[in-house]
Copies of this chain bind each other. A is one copy, B any other.
Amino acid sequence: MTTKNATIKDVAREAKVSVASVSRVLNGLGGVTPATQKIVREVATRLNYIPDNAARSLITGRTHTIGAVLPDLYGEFFSELIRGIDLAARARNLHLLVSSSHDGVDDAAAAVRAMRGRVDGMLILSEYVDAAFLEENLPEKLPAVLLDSPVKSARYPVLNIDNRDGAIAMVRHLVDAGHQHIAFISGPKTNFDAQQREKGYRSAMAKHAPSAALTIVDGDFTEESGYRAGCELLSKKPRPQAVFAANDMMAIGCLYAFKEAGLDVPRDIALAGFDDILIARYVTPPLSTVQVRIADLGRIALERLAAMLNPTDKTPASVETLGCDVVIRESCGAKTHAAAAPRKPRKAPRPLPT
């Protein structure tokens, strides 16, 4: 007993009943006398019995665990995503198995396969997955929800951020604020979000500033690339009136390039980003950006997945899209009440470091 953990058999023997009865009591299935129940519970507590989940999973075929396959865990995006997933999972008594940092299709495949028998369903966010990938690596009948993915599948629901719409809204806002020559700093070419954001930019420009020239410089979502892009933009003959970066980090890099060059944002040039990361509101001037409710994304994805876990669920797989909100701060030069109003400190939800 000091060397091994108590099993259901130990409890049964000690309580002088069969393992079946112990199981019934502990799972609250009924069909057991109150007297017997009492004994069993007492013995179980005394022996500090904790059921072995592996054995339980093996027989029931359920793990009460869902797997989250992500490309990385770095940064606010994934932090928030996991948080949203975790909160929703916890509310449903589901556990969360995370698998990250795969950077290659084989890596991703291994991650997905490694989950067989470990999870009841999966949340997948990876640029490497397509229909064939799923067909090949996902166990039959294992529910899965895809995040932020271009694939259209009849079997797996997809949940996307409406990057395109968000970008369009931001361009429209910039145009409304009086800017016509709006440059764009693009993200990595292979990134789905980046592609959609650029598409949104192009489409909105065509519609709202059809006469303006399109200026697009390459970036890769890093602050450094934003800084370089900023420098490049400053050297353009007619300097753009506004710059829209495909994410906040690049916008911030860009901001520092402008500051270094002695430009005043937004007086000399307007600036906007995408994501609404925490830093956005703390730089000077605070950055206008497009907010994506990442935690909501995670929550909704998990809720959808949880619904699929129910065998009676017949909701057809669909591609859903989560809208974004333009949040106007000072960097884009629009006169806004928010900019004039006194700063309201943001309250952290829990008193812990950071």
Query: Which chain B residue shows the least CB distance to A295?
Result: B74
A10 located at the interface, meaning its Cβ lies under 8 Å from any Cβ of chain B in the complex: no
Contact B118 A249 (CB under 8 A): no
Measured between C-beta atoms, what is the minimum distance from A258 to chain B in Å?
A: 12
Q: Across the interface, do A116 and B51 meet the contact criterion of CB distance under 8 Å? A: yes
Q: Does A284 contact B (CB under 8 A)?
A: yes
Q: How far is the CB of A76 from chain B (nearest CB, A)?
A: 4
| Residues of B close to A342: CB separation below 8 A | 260
Interface size in chain A (residues, C-beta < 8 A): 86
Residue of B nearest to A59 (CB): B54
Contacts of A103 in B (CB 8 A): 350
Number of copies: 2
Q: Name the contact of A75 in the complex, choosing from B78, B115, B222, B354 (C-beta under 8 A).
A: B354
- Which stretch in A26-34, A168-176, A186-194, A206-214 binds the other chain? A186-194
- Asked if residues A117 and B86 are in contact (CB atoms below 8 Å), the reply is no
Cβ-defined contact, A350 with B72, below 8 A: yes
Select one of B113, B188, B253, B348 contacting A351, CB under 8 A: B188
Q: Which of A92-100, A233-241, A312-320, A328-336 interfaces with chain B?
A: A92-100
Minimum distance in angstroms from A131 CB to a CB of chain B: 15
Is A156 part of the binding interface, using a Cβ–Cβ cutoff of 8 Å? Answer: no
Whether, in the assembled complex, A216 has its beta carbon less than 8 Å from a beta carbon of chain B, the answer is: no
Would you call A52 and B354 a contact (CB within 8 A)? no
Using known A-B contacts A2-B140, A282-B282, determine if residue A346 contacts B223 with beta carbons closer than 8 Å.
yes
- Verify A260–B351 contact, CB threshold 8 A: no
**A332 → chain B closest CB, angstroms:** 18
**Contact of A260 with B343 at beta-carbon distance under 8 Å, contacts A53-B116, A54-B57, A77-B354 already known:** yes
Q: In the complex, what's the smallest C-beta–C-beta distance from A252 to chain B, in angstroms?
A: 7
Cα-based distance from A114 to B51 in the complex (angstroms): 9
Residues of B within 8 A of A343 (CB): 256, 260
Q: Is A97 within 8 A of B97, CB to CB?
A: yes
Among A72, A75, A248, the most chain B Cβ lie within 10 Å of the Cβ of: A75
Closest B residue by C-beta to A136: B48
- A155 part of interface (Cβ distance < 8 Å): no
B contact residues around A354 at 8 Å (CB)? 74-78, 221, 247-249, 275, 277
In the complex, A191→B348 CA distance in Å?
A: 15
Chain A residues in the interface with B (C-beta under 8 A): 2-5, 48, 50-58, 63, 65, 71-79, 82-83, 86-87, 90, 95-101, 103, 113-118, 136, 139-141, 187-188, 191, 193, 220-224, 226-227, 247-249, 252-253, 256, 260, 274-275, 277-279, 282-284, 342-343, 345-354
8 smallest CB-CB distances across A and B, nearest first, come from: A79-B79, A52-B117, A53-B117, A77-B354, A54-B57, A75-B354, A50-B116, A76-B354
**Could you list 29 A-B pairs, sorted by A, with CB under 8 Å?**
A4-B140, A5-B116, A50-B139, A52-B116, A53-B115, A53-B118, A65-B118, A72-B350, A74-B349, A74-B350, A76-B354, A77-B353, A77-B354, A86-B101, A87-B101, A96-B98, A187-B353, A188-B351, A191-B351, A193-B353, A221-B348, A222-B351, A224-B345, A224-B346, A275-B354, A278-B278, A279-B282, A283-B283, A283-B284
